[in-house]
A and B are shown apart, each in its own frame.
Chain A
Amino acid sequence: MRYQKKWRVTAALLAAALAASCVTGCSGGQENAETAGNTEAEGSKGTEGAGTAESGSSQSAETETRDSVVVVMGPTSEPEAGFDPAYGWGAGEHVHEPLIQSTLTVTTPDLKIGYDLAEDVQASEDGLTWQVKIRDDVRFTDGEPLTAEDVAFTYNTLKDTSSVNDFTMLKEAVAVDDTTVEFHMNRPYSIWPYTMAITGIVPEHAYGPDYGQKPIGSGRYILKQWDKGQQVIFEANPDYYGEAPRMKKVTVLFMEEDAAYAAALSGQVDLAYTSAAYSDQTMDGFSLFSCETVDNRGFNLPAVPAGETDENGVPIGNDFTSDVRVRRAINLAIDRQAMIDHVLNGHGTIAYSVCDKMPWYSKDSEAAFDPQEAERLLDEAGWKTGADGIREKDGKKAGFTMLYSAGDSVRQALSEDTANQLAAFGIHVTVEGVGWDTAYDRAQSEPLMWGWGAHTPMELYNIYHTRPGGKYAQYSPYSNGAVDAYMDEALACTDLEASYELWKKAQWDGGTGITQEGDLPWIWLVNIDHLYWVKDGLQVAEQKLHPHGHGWSIINNVDQWTWE
């Protein structure tokens, strides 16, 4: 029986291994734990980040200049491919201002268009040519002047290489002279200025495969140091053409949520991201700073009956949610304020659409909590309450499976709360966590808890417009010719202001649309406030509505932050 001892030793080792994984998990967390490598990497990021927080704060303590700031973001905010606009810096899923590079336009606090490099933007009558005049006094941080050639080079390069943004509408960018660039389009695209607002201009003479590691731009800040997995240090650009940045040095650390909390707790950082789960905590020397967002959460309701499959054999449609009365009832049955209180500890706003408070948002999307009407609609649709409290029709139970991305605790809680609230109306919702590898396909036939919200009306198009060449919209089966037509018209419009009205009409034109009275293929629940611990004395400049992604947006205007 010699092996008995061996078994015991192995058991002890296993216990130790489990304990060790607990420790890694501490800093690693669960989010995005889709592969082992990922978790490991995040774990080490968290711990190393904590280490650098110390050195960062000791530096600032020594100099005591009060024109530097240490900001903590989540590990997923670190740009994997570097600070290259072609590979997601500033653009892509989580849009923000690229800081290092200048852009032609910017979005203003009310999400309309202002100018950065541009002095004048004109679209031709047919919408197929955009002419942009740029400033002539701008230099890259290596001393070379920024000309229209660089702008044209940037757009032509991104057209070919951008892994994150759609540039298919652009045929070619041409530098007419040093300060004039012309964009020749394949098709009219009225919201081109919103694309220009997230496209950082790179220097033609210094762009190459390693640009992302050593970016040169003309923006407010210079990338001074990047310790991968730990921190990024920015220094103010002394030759910046605009108002000189007041914050001379910006250090960004990447940490998991609990490490960020601990770093703030020990006073090592000046601003740390956090979530609603931490919002009931209090911290000496820090206060909770809440930013309103369009970072919304909502779920799709497949608007066609089950039975079809797409070209890859993915099943499409859902018999229960294909009835518009059911979708309307679900929209009215959800008490969104209760949901905000439950899940977000009150740190959120009610969402009625994917683009609340944007210039293109239609107020017709609003639909108040109305339990009686919800019940009435379900009765009218033929779903009668059965013996077990669950509605039935033709022997089928009312209900569906609600999917959420595994590891996202907020989406999980929102899904659970949706299930609880709908249970009161006799709709049985089962909640299931899935990975993104299967989520997109399964969302074609089952509701999925999504997160959206961007500073461009293109998002309406992506969600509601029939996929070009396809039968339904991309993410959830739905199609309405009238809605498509308004959006096409909005894109073809030459006047940006006028196009807002068309985007609104695409949502509701008085007769059809995607709102409560319309087809309602998506239900929107909440906009999640982005929360931060801010050290007393730090004045964070006024924030635009943050888009989806709890990351770089907060330092869009770090150049205007001050210390008291």
Chain B
Amino acid sequence: MSGMKKRENGKRLGNRRLFSMGLFGASVLFLLLVAVFGYVWQDAASVTDFSRKNLPPCAGYLFGTDWMGRDMFVRTVAGLSMSIRLGLLTAAVSAVIAFLLGLSAAVLGRAVDGLVTLLIDLVMGIPHMLLLILISFACGKGFWGVTLGIALTHWASLARLIRGEVFQLRESPYIRIAGKLGKSRAYLAFHHMAPNLLPQFITGLILMFPHAILHEASITFLGFGLSPEEPAIGIILSESMKYLAMGKWWLALFPGLLLTAVVLMFHYAGQTICRMAAPGSVHE
């Protein structure tokens, strides 16, 4: 009886693992395709052709064309590709900042911890969008303004999380023993704590992509990011708003859906990795 139940459970688990892996693979493949094709189509995305302006979606132009005859499918994919690449860069930078700060806060003593906590509270205390706008404006807007703005504003919550984990680890017997054995703080941090923090770090990193991408979209939507001729998802969406009243729904709908898809894909990929890296979480 109990054996049968166990087998059923095992079967369900196996399916779930398979499903997770499939979803993970599909997500990564989708994101990779968007990133690569968008990169290749970068020049094509800016091509204007007034002889084909304001076309609704059709076989030739899946997402239709806008008021300057730009192919919205190509433009959307190019915009999302840039978002993904920018997301990769900024999320990586943010995660590294978070990892180092979180670790040093817990390891380097009370004074550093106080400083880092203050920094975290400072960044989290200012409304995110406002800080983002301030930084990117101060850095001269444009691509690097946005990149720096996003990179410098997304580390705080992950840093706080890692700091908490390190505090917990510090009190665990094996770390204390290693400490008593005379190992240095740096040795403890990188040899004993870092491997334990890796799952949190990787999950945090991947789950930061959607944030970074959405924030990139928001800030360009508000007109602080890139020049309007560049293909960026925020620019595409904010331009489409003007044309909604005229019934040109396709300009907003498809790019919006694709953006949502990209964000969801990152989310699923992150969740799957999280489960794989920390199998204990299935019991939660």
Chain A residues proximal to chain B, CB less than 8 Å: 1, 3-4, 6-8, 10-11, 14-15, 17-18, 21-22, 25-26, 29-30, 33-34, 36, 39, 257-258, 261-262, 277-278, 281, 342-343, 406-407, 409, 412-413, 416-417, 419-420, 431-435
Contact = CB atoms under 8 A, between A and B. Distances in A.
Contact of A14 (B49, B53, B133, B214): B214
Interface string B204-217: 10010011001101
B249 to A, nearest CB: 13
Given A7-B270, A26-B241, A431-B229, 18 more contacts: A4-B274, A6-B157, A7-B207, A10-B211, A15-B214, A22-B241, A25-B222, A26-B244, A30-B223, A34-B223, A261-B246, A281-B246, A342-B50, A406-B223, A406-B228, A416-B48, A416-B68, A432-B229
Nearest to B211: A14
B48 A3 contact: no
B63 interface: no
A36 B133 contact: yes
A362 B170 CA distance: 85
Q: Indicate the size class of the contact surface on chain B.
A: 35 or more
Interface in B234-248: 237-239, 241-246
B89 interface: no
B159 to A, nearest CB: 12
Which 3 residue pairs are nearest across A and B when measured between Cβ atoms? A33-B223, A342-B50, A433-B227
B223 A39 contact: yes
Given A1-B284, A7-B207, A431-B229, A409 B67 contact: yes
Contacts of A342: 50, 53
Given A3-B161, A30-B242, A21 B221 contact: yes
Contact of B244 (A15, A30, A258): A258
B129 interface: yes
Secondary structure class of chain A's binding surface, majority of residues: helix
Nearest to B266: A11
Interface string B241-284: 11111100000000000001001000100110010001001001
A262 B245 contact: yes
28 contacts: A3-B161, A3-B200, A4-B271, A4-B274, A11-B207, A11-B211, A11-B267, A14-B214, A18-B214, A18-B221, A21-B222, A22-B237, A22-B241, A25-B238, A26-B241, A29-B242, A30-B242, A257-B242, A258-B241, A258-B244, A342-B50, A406-B227, A406-B228, A409-B228, A409-B242, A412-B68, A416-B68, A432-B227
Interface of B: 48-50, 53, 67-68, 129-130, 133, 141, 157, 161, 200, 203-204, 207, 210-211, 214-215, 217-218, 221-224, 227-229, 237-239, 241-246, 260, 263, 267, 270-271, 274, 278, 281, 284
A21 B256 CA distance: 13
Contact of B229 (A18, A25, A412): A412
A36 B227 CA distance: 16
B278 A1 contact: yes
Contacts, number: 118
Given A11-B211, A26-B241, A407-B228, A277 B67 contact: yes
Contacts of B267: 8, 11
Given A11-B263, A257-B242, A407 B223 contact: yes
A278 B133 CA distance: 32
A281 B244 CA distance: 13
A427 to B, nearest CB: 16
Nearest to A34: B223
Nearest to B218: A18
A417 B48 contact: yes
Nearest to A419: B48
Nearest to B270: A7
B94 to A, nearest CB: 14
A18 B238 CA distance: 11
A18 B221 CA distance: 9
A258 B222 contact: no
A278 B248 CA distance: 11
Contacts of B214: 11, 14-15, 18
Contacts of B222: 21, 25, 33, 36, 39
A17 B129 contact: yes
A454 to B, nearest CB: 27
Contact of A413 (B67, B133, B141): B67
Contacts of B207: 7, 11
B241 A29 contact: yes
Contacts of A419: 48
Nearest to B50: A342
A433 B224 CA distance: 12
A435 B129 CA distance: 21
Given A33-B223, A39-B223, A258-B245, A18 B217 contact: yes
B257 to A, nearest CB: 13
B263 A343 contact: no
Q: Identify which of A3, A7, A257 gathers the most chain B CB atoms within 10 Å of its CB.
A: A7
A30 B284 contact: no
A257 B244 CA distance: 12
A30 B278 contact: no
A33 B263 CA distance: 26
A30 B239 contact: yes
Contacts of A30: 223, 228, 238-239, 241-242
B241 A25 contact: yes
Contacts of B200: 3
Given A11-B210, A11-B267, A36-B222, A434 B227 contact: yes
Nearest to B214: A14
A407 B161 CA distance: 40
A48 to B, nearest CB: 18
Given A14-B214, A21-B221, A413-B68, A420 B48 contact: yes
A471 B242 CA distance: 43
A412 B207 CA distance: 37
A4 to B, nearest CB: 6
Nearest to B164: A3
A152 to B, nearest CB: 46
Contacts of A417: 48, 50
A36 B131 CA distance: 12
Contacts of A14: 210-211, 214-215, 218
Contacts of B238: 25, 30
Contacts of B129: 17
A433 B50 contact: no
Nearest to B264: A11
Contacts of A258: 241-242, 244-245
Contacts of A412: 68, 228-229
